[in-house]
Structure formats: structure tokens, C-alpha cells
Amino acid sequence: MKKQLSLFFIALQFYTRLPIPSWVTYSQDSLSKATRFLPLIGWITGMVNGVIWFVGYYLLNVEIGLLLSMIVSVLMTGAFHEDGFADVCDGFGGGWTKEKILEIMKDSRLGTYGASGLIFMLAFKYLLLQHLATFNNIDFYTLTVVFIAGHSLSRFMAATVIFTQSYARDTEDSKAKPVAVATHRNTFVIAGVLTIIPLLALVYILQQPELLLVLPVLYVVTIRMSSYFKKWIGGYTGDCLGAVQQVTEVVFYLFLAISWKFI
């Protein structure tokens, strides 16, 4: 039990800026195994989003509450996934060879493609959440489950890339390299179980089993993105994982917005 708790705290330290106990020890192998708790990090982020949204909504209005929740989410994760998405936009937008794409993505400076992509993605996410938050007077608990499901599902989709694709960089100095090391199948199974629970809870609350169709939709999006990465750079990088997380999170909210309109 202590070992699993240690793996959880390692995942919490790597994927967020939240503090962890001093007794937790890090190793490359433990970080790889800690991937199983990546969806659980989504639970935490989603729950905080829900609480911040409710406080902002109660004190001011829906729009400011949502904006505050997005800001807190970025602060919690240190813009970890957003940075990856922006780097992917820069790399694949400005590079035409594997070497050039990887070089651009490793550059810490933000380019035109990255800035534009980040603005459009954040704006789209905000508008979708605004639509969901004001649809049929949705209550606080349901929207919080939406947040949790969106964050956990999108992180799991990023994890599937780790389990199915090869790491593109040859160097050992990448921050994401330890995560990319092949790990046990149990890690993938545990991550899957932690992912499906919030979605099943949302299906139960709304009594809409058709929402489970979002799983193949997100998987297709992930496969298409993975294929694109493999075509150009022969695999994935940590930035690619961040891009998958951001895109599939937005696609999840988009799926809900469309399905609720016609159900």
C-alpha cells in the first residue's frame, strides 16, 4: 500500500506543482509506473476546477467562475500540458524534417504557431465550458463530474500513446524520457479503471448511456494524432502527450455539447 501511495505522490509531483511528503523517493522506474495514477491527477484537477467554478459563480457569475477555474488549473499543473500543445503547434507548424521539428519543440521560446494555437484552444475550451455550465441549469455536482471526467479521460488518452507508440527522441536528457520507458500491463489496466469511473458516474447522473460513445471518439482522435506524430518524427515526445491531453479534453467537452443539444 505504501508503494502505491508513493507512486501516486510521484505522479502528483511530476504532473502538478502540489507539494508531496519528504519521504517519497524518486527513480526512473517509479515514474514510469506512476503513470497508472495519471487519471487520478485528472480527478484532483477536475474537482478543484469544480469548486473554483462554483465559488466564482456564487460570488460573481458563470463566466468569471469558469475563467478562474481555468486559471487555477493552469497554475496547479504549471501549464504542463498547455506548454506541450503550444510546442507541438510550433514544431509541426514550422518544421519540415524530424530533426527540425524536434529542435523547434525543444526550444523554450513561444512562436507564432504556438501562440495562435494556444489562444484558439483556450478560447474554444472556455466557450464550450460556458455552454455546458449554462445548459438546462446544470447543477454544481454534475458540472464537477464533467470536469473530472474530462481531465481524467484526456490524461488516459495521453497515456495510451505511451503504451502503444515509440519515443521519438534519441537523447537521454528529455524530461519525459522516464515516463516513456515501457512498463507493466497492470499500469495500463489501473489507469483505465481510474478513468472509466468518472464517466460512468456522469452516465448515471444524467441517465444517458449513449455518452459512452465518447470513448471510441476520443480513441480515434488519439490514434489520428499518434499516426501524424509517427509519420513526421517516428513516434512521440512529452510535448506530443501534452497536445493529446489538451485536444482530447476539448473534444470531450465538444462531444457533450453536441450530444446534449440533440438528446
Q: Where are the domains of the chain?
A: 34-262
Q: Which of 138-142, 177-181, 217-221, 252-256 has the lowest mean pLDDT?
A: 177-181
Question: Nine-digit cell at 110?
Answer: 513561444
State the Cα–Cα distance between residues 72 and 55, nearest whole angstrom: 12
Calculate what percentage of the chain has a pLDDT beyond 90: 67
More confident residue, 95 or 248: 248
State the Cα–Cα distance between residues 212 and 12, nearest whole angstrom: 28
Is the distance from CB of 191 to CB of 135 less than 8 angstroms? no
Quick check: 243 pLDDT over 90?
Answer: yes
The reported pLDDT for the residue numbered 138 is 83
- Confidence label for 175 from pLDDT (cuts 50, 70 and 90): low
Spatial CB neighbours of 223, under 8 Å, sequence gap ≥ 6: none
3-state secondary structure (DSSP) of residue 18: coil
3-state secondary structure (DSSP) of residue 167: strand
Any idea which residue has 521560446 for its cell?
A: 109
Q: What is the identity of the amino acid at 239?
A: D
The reported pLDDT for the residue numbered 178 is 57
Instruction: Name the CA radius of gyration of the chain, rounded.
Output: 18
Mean pLDDT of all residues in 66-84: 94
Residue 230 sits at φ, ψ, to 5 deg, of -65, -40
The reported pLDDT for the residue numbered 4 is 83
Quick check: 31 pLDDT over 80?
Answer: no
Mean pLDDT of all residues in 102-110: 90
More confident residue, 90 or 172: 90
DSSP annotation of 145 reads H
- Confidence label for 180 from pLDDT (cuts 50, 70 and 90): low
In this prediction the pTM is 0.93
3-state secondary structure (DSSP) of residue 25: coil
Is the distance from CB of 142 to CB of 205 less than 8 angstroms? yes
Is the distance from CB of 76 to CB of 19 less than 8 angstroms? no
Quick check: 88 pLDDT over 90?
Answer: yes
Quick check: 195 pLDDT over 90?
Answer: yes
The reported pLDDT for the residue numbered 261 is 80
Provide the H-helix boundaries in 168-213: 177-180, 185-206
Q: Which of 40-44, 94-98, 142-146 has the lowest mean pLDDT?
A: 94-98
The reported pLDDT for the residue numbered 174 is 57
Mean pLDDT of all residues in 184-194: 86
Q: Which of 3-17, 80-94, 104-118, 207-221 has the lowest mean pLDDT?
A: 3-17
Neighbours of 115 (CB within 10 A): 13
Output the average pLDDT for the chain.
89
